[in-house]
């Protein structure tokens, strides 16, 4: 008997291997997948400006990256003794304005160089609710704990989000005509917006993604949202806050992702890398023992075997 509904995920017509360059941007959920890719030694650039939830904020960042439109002092605000950009997450904030601009532009240059050679951009959309500030045209990427009275909260329409996603694809192709865009809808619930408001937000994002995918042959959708809400659909798959997926759910979604986007040789290499990673994390009871020295010799041989076949893979 079948006691749950399995969300079908068709095998992708193109595959990801350990030479595939993958950039990831978006909500905190993209970092769950990004961390798995990094652990498995795929060439990855993950949220170079920090977490971004809203597609319009993502579009503005990507336009800035593609055009190499460097940040200047005029792009910053000084709040709570920190210099910040409303276009980025608070991890980019600095106590010195010159340092803040330098940090932002280093991330911009890194993103540009990676993006023009990337094979895939993974975008995880988090919310359609946007916050607009008088100092910035459009939706802020992050409110930086600035009082909410300084912002105007708006729900972006399906058409507005669709246009942003189309704008992202158009901008990307200016520097990388072959890049694929892989969308996913974050299953994390934004409960502070309200129950009904969260559902409206996710519905707008979902509809916009499907419209964007339909008109762009190089755009795709991975149903992480449906897997968590329709296939797992139980609070035992959520973290203590009952809003974010827990490690079991993340592992399961990663496995479904692997089934769709990895071929058998890539999966096998992931298994070998996992063994090495676990061995590297191992803490011996006696570091100078004969058994531990044999363990290290065997581990080094395995690392060299992997690197001989895959020179781009390195272990720390």
**Do 185 and 102 have their domain in common?**
yes
**Do 171 and 304 have their domain in common?**
no
Where are the extended beta strands (E) located within the chain?
22-26, 44-46, 77-79, 82-84, 120-125, 129-133, 151-155, 180-185, 219-222
Q: Decide if 109 is inside a domain.
A: yes
**Do 257 and 269 have their domain in common?**
no
User: Residue 14 has what DSSP assignment?
Assistant: S
How many distinct structural domains can be found in the chain?
2
Question: Which of 223, 244, 262 is a domain's end point?
Answer: 262
The whole domain housing 303 covers 263-316
Q: Decide if 16 is inside a domain.
A: no
**Do 170 and 310 have their domain in common?**
no
Residue 139, number of CB atoms within 10 A of its CB: 28
The three-point CA angle 129-130-133 to 5° equals 155
Q: 181-215, pLDDT tens digit by residue?
A: 999 999 999 988 999 999 999 999 999 999 999 99
The three-point CA angle 43-45-48 to 5° equals 170
Question: Which of 216, 238, 262 is a domain's end point?
Answer: 262
**Do 273 and 252 have their domain in common?**
no
Q: What is the pLDDT of residue 187?
A: 93
The pTM of the full predicted model, rounded to 2 decimals, is: 0.94
Residue 123 near residue 56 (C-beta atoms within 8 A): no
**Do 177 and 303 have their domain in common?**
no
**Do 162 and 258 have their domain in common?**
yes
Q: What is the pLDDT of residue 59?
A: 98
Question: Which of 233, 262, 291 is a domain's end point?
Answer: 262
Q: Domain holding 84: CATH number?
A: 3.40.50.1110
**Do 185 and 86 have their domain in common?**
yes
Nearest to 86 by CA among 42, 145, 156: 145
**Do 186 and 123 have their domain in common?**
yes
DSSP strand pairing (180-185 vs 44-46): unpaired
Q: Decide if 170 is inside a domain.
A: yes
**Do 217 and 286 have their domain in common?**
no
Q: Is the dihedral of CA 267, 268, 274, 277 positive or negative?
A: negative
Q: What is the pLDDT of residue 28?
A: 87
> In the chain, what percentage of residues exceed pLDDT 90?
90
Q: 223-271, pLDDT tens digit by residue?
A: 999 999 999 999 999 999 999 999 999 999 999 999 999 999 999 999 9
**Do 149 and 87 have their domain in common?**
yes
**Do 118 and 207 have their domain in common?**
yes
Straight-line distance from the first to the last Cα atom of the chain, in angstroms, rounded to the nearest whole number: 46
């Amino acid at each position: 008997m079948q006691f749950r509904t399995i969300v079908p995920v068709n095998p992708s017509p193109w595959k990801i291997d350990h030479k595939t360059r993958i950039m990831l941007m978006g909500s905190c959920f993209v970092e769950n997948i990004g961390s798995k890719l990094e652990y498995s030694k795929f060439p990855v650039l993950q949220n170079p400006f920090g977490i971004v939830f809203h597609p319009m904020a993502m579009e503005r960042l990507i336009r800035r990256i593609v055009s190499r439109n460097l940040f200047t002092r005029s792009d910053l605000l000084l709040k709570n003794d920190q210099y910040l950009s409303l276009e980025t997450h608070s991890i980019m904030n600095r106590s010195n304005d010159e340092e803040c601009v330098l940090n932002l532009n280093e991330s911009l240059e890194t993103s540009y160089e990676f993006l023009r050679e990337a094979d895939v951009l993974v975008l995880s959309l988090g919310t359609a609710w946007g916050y607009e500030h008088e100092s910035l045209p459009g939706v802020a990427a992050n409110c930086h704990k600035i009082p909410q009275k300084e912002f105007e909260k708006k729900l972006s329409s399906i058409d507005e989000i669709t246009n942003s996603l189309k704008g992202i694809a158009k901008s990307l192709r200016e520097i990388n005509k072959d890049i694929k865009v892989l969308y996913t809808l974050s299953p994390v619930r934004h409960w502070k917006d309200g129950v009904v408001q969260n559902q409206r937000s996710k519905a707008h994002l979902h509809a916009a993604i499907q419209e964007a995918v339909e008109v762009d042959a190089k755009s795709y959708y991975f149903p992480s949202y449906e897997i968590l809400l329709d296939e797992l659909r139980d609070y035992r798959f959520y973290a203590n806050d009952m809003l974010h997926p827990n490690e079991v759910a993340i592992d399961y979604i990663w496995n479904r992702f692997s089934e769709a986007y990895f071929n058998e040789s890539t999966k096998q290499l992931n298994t070998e890398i996992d063994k090495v990673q676990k061995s590297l994390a191992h803490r011996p009871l006696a570091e100078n023992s004969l058994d531990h020295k044999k363990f290290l010799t065997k581990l080094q041989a395995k690392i060299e075997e992997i690197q001989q076949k895959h020179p781009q893979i390195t272990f720390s």
